Structure 1
Amino acid sequence: MNTGSQQKCLILEPFSGGSHFQMVDLLRQCFDAQCLDILTLSGRKWPWRARTAALYFFQRIPEDSSYHTVFCSSVLNLAELVALCPKLGSSLKVIYFHENQLVYPIQRNDSCDFQFSYAQIVSCIIADRIVFNSKFNRDSFLSAIPSVLHRIPKDGRPCDVVSLIEVKCTVLHFPIVFPAIPTFQRSLEELHIVWPHRWEHDKNPELFFSVLRQLVADHCNFRLSVLGETYGEAPECFQTARDDLKEQIIHWGYVPDKTAYYNVLRSSHVVVSTARHEFFGVAMLEATYLGCWPLCPDALAYQEMYPPSCRYRTPAQLCKRLRYFCKHPRLAVDKRANLTIDFSQYSWSTLKNSYADLLGLSLRNEL
């Protein structure tokens, strides 16, 4: 680990919400303020952040500054920023992929789809190090590059792009500071299901709520907590579900206080994901760590993070497993007690030295 106290790192986050915010906040706590310059934009209006953050940050980087390392998320068009601010070209440029746009199930039109994907590819060309939070994220990004570039007219299509990018890629898990686990007695009388994800279409809330409606139709007894942040207007299915499932709901909406949030997870038996897109899944890991049995799609990053017993292939399988747990809540508790997942590989205490090396800084606080 580098111990030079005078080296400085510039951290840039165009979309400071969710896991993006968590990472920047953790780095802020763990490294000396005099060694960090941090510029962020709030976690809203993602398309505008991706399009325009480079110019915004350029205008706010001190003219007399010099950085050993520039660390940014993949929301930023790094190539644009370096073109606007050439002095950053001599810095070690690190881009971190919380997610990638090349395989993102977007709601936008094709031209926007291509432009966001292409910007991430070009940013990887200019970067010195490219870091992904999971193998799935890295592999899906690299494998999708040819199909994205194939849309370019043949006479202007770049070549050997994958090989230029692949040699700079590595996987470094998102760092989680797991909370302490006090003794907590879950109810064995009634199943508590929690869904702690962003209220957006890519998390497929429509599927989740349709499964719950089927459970109600089957006269299953359960309680429900729907957590997670909302960026802008939530899909209509949330209001409909709130009306349809009002008898089952205990908690509804984002819980900003971490202690209160963790207490909801501790009281839950099963945490469910219905995501069409997931490159890591901090909320699922936190809930599982705090004692929930995870049920997630047999796809995406879940295949490398959870054993087959926690994954389902079809909505019918998800419904069947939840129906079974509704009848036998104790079994969800027992199964979780026997579940083995190595959480240390996702823990800040394990990963902190790797992040210190990546940024070229010395750790300040021990978290």
Structure 2
Amino acid sequence: NIDGCSVFTLPAKKWHWRARTSALYFSQNVPASTSYRVLFSSSVLNLCELVALRPDLARLKKVLYFHENQLVYPVRKDQDRDFQYGYNQILSCLVSDVVVFNSLFNMDSFLSSISSFIKKIPDHRPSGLDQLIHPKCVVLNYPVQFPDVSREHDKNPELFFSTLLKLKDKHLHFHLSVLGETFTDVPEIFSEARRLLDSHILNWGFQSSKDDYLRVLCEADVVVSTADHEFFGVAMLEAVHCGCFPLCPKALVYPEIFPAEYLYSTPEQLCKRLQGLCRRPDVARRHVVKVDTSSFSWTRLKDRFKTLLADSCP
């Protein structure tokens, strides 16, 4: 969407291997050019490795964009967290000229976790890294191309489906659409919930076209997030743009985007709100959501991205 950019990407799968090996791949597949001015990269890339392998790219203005950060990305047990992924992101920040986050929550959670994360090193620990990185940091929301409109353990499907089963047990009337791409490791709760909620299901799984996806969103009244992890939340904003009443956790990035009336603190609060909306669906249908989705549109944000990609450093 910005003229004059050369785009080099890898498919959005096997992210663990992308984080480990993409720098070497790009070092061999990005052709040398004297016309490059700015290197804009995702935080999944080990930027430190890339600029070491390609000194010609090291001379460019280097912008690192964080969609998520590995210092607080949820894992089932803390000992399961691979230290290398977070460490690579810290190193990438240190060699960058500008570090951009898609939300204030993303930035604050990363910077505030660096010191405790580095303490996992058994000895000879570096210090003051957050102070070196902080001056480079800015927040620039992910630009959504409305109405352009995924399922993982970090979205807490157990809470979502257990809440719906409680509504079913109370004999409340509702229809359900569960949208998203299915990957190799699908939590067992999905197949169980699909069986138990079968009579309520209108749509399930990946939609064959963007128009089909938008149609489902436009037909829905309420959109629910039960995420344990969210650094921005494109899908929730897309649903709101299509007219859905949002219910989100009072945590993570959500208070940064959604007013208090759309937030819940406990599973019990979520269940109570959904019970009320099942009994009075007109409340959601008449409601005009107090979120200006245009603030997150490419049209609104493109000038800030163009400024960011200017070749002079701030």
TM bucket by the smaller chain? over 0.9
Q: Does 1:170 align with 2:141?
A: no
The question of 1:105 aligning with 2:57 is answered: no
Q: 1:178-215, CA deviations, whole angstroms, 9 ceiling, x for partnerless residues?
A: 229xxxxxxxxxxxxxxx9x211000111101111111
Q: Deviations 1:233-253 (Å, cap 9, x if unpaired)? A: 221111111111110000000
Q: 1:82 to 1:111 in 2, by over 3 A?
A: farther
* Maintained 8 Å contact 2:115/2:127: no
1:61-100 matched pairs, under 5 angstroms: 61-64=30-33, 66-100=35-69
Give the whole-Å Cα distance in 1 for the aligned partners of 2:229 and 2:180.
Answer: 16
After TM superposition, list the pairs within 5 Å mapping 1:32-47 onto structure 2. Answer: 32=3, 35-47=4-16
* 1:351 equivalent in structure 2: 301
The Cα shift of 1:286 comes to: 0.8
Shift, 1:340, TM fit: 1.9
AA matched with 1:44: K
1:173-252 matches, within 5 Å, as 173-179=141-147, 198-252=150-204
**Residue type at the aligned position of 2:131:** S
Are the structure 2 counterparts of residues 357 and 127 from structure 1 closer, same or farther at C-alpha, using a change threshold of 3 Å?
same
Q: Which residue number in structure 2 is paired with residue 14 of structure 1?
A: none
Corresponding residue for 1:31? 2
- Percent of aligned pairs with the same amino acid: 52
Q: Is the 8 A contact 1:53 1:76 kept in 2?
A: yes
Alignment of 1:331-342 (within 5 A): 331-334=283-286, 336-337=287-288, 339-342=289-292
Q: State the Cα distance separating 1:40 from its structure 2 match.
A: 1.1
Cα displacement (A) at 1:325? 0.8
Q: Secondary structure of the equivalent of 1:42?
A: coil
Structure 2 residue 237 is matched with structure 1 residue 269: no
Say whether 1:140 aligns with 2:117.
no
In the alignment, is the contact (CA less than 8 A) between 1:270 and 1:295 conserved in 2?
yes
Instruction: Name 1:6's counterpart in structure 2.
Output: none
* Residue 19 of structure 2 is aligned to residue 50 of structure 1: yes
The 3-state SS of whatever aligns with 2:160 is helix
Letter in 2 for 1:150: K
8 Å CA contact 2:32, 2:56 repeated in 1: no
The 2-side partners of 1:112 and 1:280 are apart by: 21
- Aligned residue for 1:177, secondary structure, equals coil
* Shift in Å, 1:229: 2.2
SS class of match (2:8): strand
| 1:112 CA drift (Å) | 4.9
1:190 matched residue in structure 2: none
TM-score of the aligned structures, taking structure 1 as reference length: 0.81
CA shift, 1:347, in A, is 1.2
SS in structure 1 at match of 2:291: coil
Quote how far apart the aligned CAs of 1:106 are: 2.3
Residue type matched to 2:234 in 1? V
Residue 12 of structure 1 corresponds to: none
Equivalent-residue separation in structure 2 for 1:218 and 1:121 (angstroms): 49
Shift of 1:360: 2.7
**What number of residue pairs does the alignment pair up?**
311
Shift in Å, 1:256: 4.2
The Cα offsets for residues 247-294 of structure 1, whole Å up to 9 and x where unpaired, read as 000000012422211111111010000000111100000101111100
Kindly provide the amino acid, as one letter, of the partner of residue 94 in structure 1: V
Shift in Å, 1:64: 4.4
CA contact (8 A) 1:74 1:95 kept: yes
**How far does the alpha carbon of each residue in 1:316-339 deviate from its partner, in whole angstroms, 9 at most, with x for none?**
1111111111111111112x32x3
Gaps of 5+ in 2: none
Of structures 1 and 2, the one with the larger relative CO (CA 8 A, separation 6+) is 1
Q: Partner of 1:206: helix, strand, or coil?
A: helix
Q: 1:298 touches 1:312 (CA, 8 Å); kept in 2?
A: yes
CA distance in 2, matches of 1:344, 1:226: 25
Q: Give the 3 Å change call, closer, same or farther, for CA 256–82 of structure 1 in structure 2.
A: farther
1:159 and 2:127 matched: yes
Partner of 1:327: 279
Q: Supply the distance in 1 between the matched residues of 2:295 and 2:131 (Cα, whole angstroms).
A: 28
Amino acid at match of 1:344: S
1:254 maps to which of 199, 203, 206: 206
* 1:227/1:254 contact within 8 Å kept: yes
Gaps of 5+ in 1: 1-29, 181-195, 362-367
1:315 equivalent in structure 2: 267
Letter paired with 2:141: H
For the residues of structure 1 that align with 2:77 and 2:268, how far apart are their CA atoms? 30
Q: Which residue is equivalent to 1:186?
A: none
For 2:111, what is the secondary structure of its paired residue?
helix
Tell me, what secondary structure is at the counterpart of 1:284? Answer: helix
